[in-house]
Structure 1
Amino acid sequence: MAASSDDNDELPSLDLFQDPAGFYPPEKPPSFTTYLMKNGRHINLRLVGHSPLWGHLLWNAGQVVAQYLEENTQQLVQGKNILELGAGAGLPSLVASLLGAKQVVVTDYPDNELIVNLRHNIDLNLAAQDMPNIVAEGFLWGSSADALTAHLEKGSSTFDVLILADILFNHSEHNKLLDTVTGCLKRTSDSVALVFFTPYRPWLLERDLNFFKMARSSGLLVDKIMEQTMDKVMFENDPGDETLRRTVFGYTVKWDL
């Protein structure tokens, strides 16, 4: 028997698929930070509010490799095609773009929020340029790089410089990461992958370093070029040797030609 209109008026309004108010924690808002270049220019960075891919942090290695690019601009930046992997907020790529790179392709995992944020940082810092020399793309390590090399001038299919900053902790992805390095690094003696990292889990340092063993086994030359101990540790309450957890190690990976 159909219910009367009076009966319907007394029934509660139910939506079995609607979560109650406050069921999910509120999204964290983005945060903001500034990097001061040696020439006095400020780079303003927006960091996503939270990311399971760790894109919400400005990692120490990203800052140190940015400084390294500033100190070696003529050799590593000017007139170069540069690719950054796992870029987060994209600091090293922004520095390279401002210092005269020919073309910079800055990438991270193809998560919409991460890529939109990278493009926001590009627009925020490079809007005054008539022809920006930097683009952001989503990219899965080990996959085809055709969409990345499409941004290079005709006849170019590889990059002069690769930037890998604080991404070696992804141990299960080392094979794919190395595939991308060997597939994207131009086969010349001057081409180089800059691999900078901090062992945030010191007890897994050997697994971090295994990437370089794999690189050597693939016929690449690996050299340690620097280490820099930061003033503060990023994660104060984490276990393990604190000095290691605030030290950035820098390596170069090149072709053995």
Structure 2
Amino acid sequence: MSEAPKNSDESDTDVLLGGIFGNNDYEEPVIKGHLVKFYTMLGMPIDIHLIGKSPLYGHILTNACKYIAKYLEKNMDTLVKDRTVIEFGSGGALPSILCAKLGASMALATDYPDPELVNNIEYNIKMNKIQNNCKSLGFIWGNDISDILSLISGPPVERKTFDTIILSDVIFNHTEHYKLLKTCKQLITPKTGKVLVAFTPHRPHLLDADLSFFQKAQEQPYNFKLDFIEMVHYSPLFKDDKDESTREIRSRVYMYILYT
């Protein structure tokens, strides 16, 4: 097996999202990536390599990601098996890789087109030996979807939509809500497709801005219908945050489903 992709000193995402996670006016040391082993409910292990750092949480297997993986496994017959699946903001791409292993006809893991992020997804796909029904792609929300469609169109079936769309801990990027909704609307299979949205309010003071995604989703021109599934608690993800007044909020994982 080839070596895990090495971390670059700086990526485009560091520049684009510096306003969210802080500007780096000095040269930071390169942080090595690491391997995480995730177990399905049936005990099947899945190895996920995570990059060393990312302002987009691509270096972390978040609680929302773990939750949505379990949800997909519980509902594999209706959301995964023989379905086309796409994930946005994939990070290590655990949900996409799980879907491929559970029998998706095609699982497409996408993230911001930073070489480090996309190369790492490709590495995880190869490591888990699912190249036949799992692909990776760098994609910016709201952009032309031709490259996406090219990966699910072809013999024996011509597809132009996805049955299941996965959004795991991505709606913190509030300025991109409309672009993300545009892409979801373009790609969802009408009437039967589902958009799974799981997230944790990592910045509790911006919870209302996180939740505004769902209000926007129901408005023109998107007109999604909305089901709130549940809110559960995990241990807070960032252990260095010692603010006990926000601990409960930071431990939440919300789950919603959008559909047309």
Q: Which band: TM-score by shorter chain?
A: 0.7 to 0.9
Question: Is the aligned partner of 1:78 residue 2:51?
Answer: no
| Partner of residue 212, structure 1 | 214
How far apart are residue 60 of structure 1 and its match? Answer: 0.9
Helix, strand or coil: the match of 2:91?
coil
| Partner of residue 72, structure 2 | 69
| Partner of residue 246, structure 1 | 251
| Partner of residue 222, structure 1 | 226
Please give the per-residue CA displacement for 1:35-87, whole angstroms capped at 9, x wherever unaligned. Answer: 00122211011110112332111111111000000100101000100000000
Determine the C-alpha separation between the residues in 2 that align with 1:44 and 1:237: 26
* Stretches of structure 2 lacking an aligned partner (at least 5 in a row): 1-25
Determine the C-alpha separation between the residues in 1 that align with 2:57 and 2:44: 26
**RMSD over aligned Cα atoms:** 1.4
Using the size of structure 2 for normalisation, the TM-score is 0.84
Letter in 1 for 2:114: D
Which stretch shows the higher mean deviation, 57-66 or 150-159?
150-159
Which structure: larger Rg? 1
Determine the C-alpha separation between the residues in 2 that align with 1:195 and 1:205: 15
Determine the C-alpha separation between the residues in 1 that align with 2:55 and 2:67: 23
Equivalent runs, 1:168-207 vs 2, <5 Å: 168-188=171-191, 190-207=192-209
Helix, strand or coil: the match of 1:136?
strand
Determine the C-alpha separation between the residues in 2 that align with 1:159 and 1:47: 26
Equivalent runs, 1:1-257 vs 2, <5 Å: 24-126=27-129, 132-154=132-154, 155-188=158-191, 190-217=192-219, 218-230=222-234, 232-238=235-241, 239=243, 241-255=246-260
Q: Give structure 1 regions of 4+ aligned residues with deviation exceeding 6 angstroms.
A: none
Helix, strand or coil: the match of 2:136?
strand
Which stretch shows the higher mean deviation, 112-121 or 30-39?
30-39
Percent of aligned positions that are identical: 36
Determine the C-alpha separation between the residues in 2 that align with 1:26 and 1:250: 36
* Stretches of structure 1 lacking an aligned partner (at least 5 in a row): 1-22
Instruction: Count how many residue pairs are aligned between Structure 1 and Structure 2.
Output: 228
Please give the per-residue CA displacement for 1:140-185, whole angstroms capped at 9, x wherever unaligned. Answer: 0000111111111333111111000000100011011111111111
Please give the per-residue CA displacement for 1:8-37, whole angstroms capped at 9, x wherever unaligned. Answer: xxxxxxxxxxxxxxx944311111111001
Letter in 1 for 2:149: T
Letter in 1 for 2:48: L
Determine the C-alpha separation between the residues in 2 that align with 1:25 and 1:196: 31
